[in-house]
Amino acid sequence: MIQQAILSDDPVLYFEPKRRYHDKGEVDEGIDPRTALPMDSARVVTEGTDVTLVAYGPLVKTAKDAATAAADEGISIEVIDLRSLAPVDYATVEASVRKTGRLVVTHEAGQSGGLGAEVAASITERCFYHLETAPVRITGFDIPYPYSKLEMHHLPGLDRILDGVDRALGRPNSLSGLEG
């Protein structure tokens, strides 16, 4: 996406999560930014049938980890990376929710007034009769952002996301081991 941002004639803001700087992984060097998935298109990262889990930025990796952990319990999570926050690719999210009937949205910002609220509201309007439960938001807490030593307690982690998946499925927190 950064190559696409550089090639774009339009103004683009590209945010890099500092805490992911030292992550290691495969890099596909054969991707041509001119023919790759458009910047404003969401990407289905993991196919699934039980729950749609929408994330962006550094939480995509955590969402993928949640899908892997849930698969061990027989739960199939479709993970969608929004990739672009303006515009949001609602068509991809809508198609997934029509298939799964459930929506969980996760992001690092606080819950009140966050992008998750907008995604949940928009998908509820578009997919009301396809939703089996109300959308679930897993976000940072509604507090001032903490300093770096407390950041990991503030951000949604694997257990909190799995708890949200449990709530969307109407299950009593069986995946995460969290109480209440």
Give the CA distances from residue 82 to residues 39, 40, 52, in Å, rounded to whole numbers and listed in that order: 10, 8, 12
Nearest to 116 by CA among 59, 169, 48, 78: 59
Average confidence score pLDDT of the chain: 89
- Domains of the chain plus CATH, in order, are 38-169 (3.40.50.920)
Residue 174: pLDDT band with limits 50, 70, 90 = low
**One-letter amino acid of 161:** I
Of residues 144 and 162, more confidently modeled: 162
Flag whether pLDDT at 84 surpasses 50: yes
Query: Can you give the pLDDT at residue 173?
Result: 62
- pLDDT at residue 179, as a whole number: 42
Provide the pLDDT for residue 88. Answer: 96
Q: Is the pLDDT score of 180 beyond 50?
A: no
Residue 65 above 60 pLDDT?
Answer: yes
The Cα 43–Cα 20 span in angstroms is: 20
pLDDT for 176: 52
* pLDDT tens-place string over residues 8-51: 888 888 777 766 777 787 877 777 777 778 888 999 999 999 99
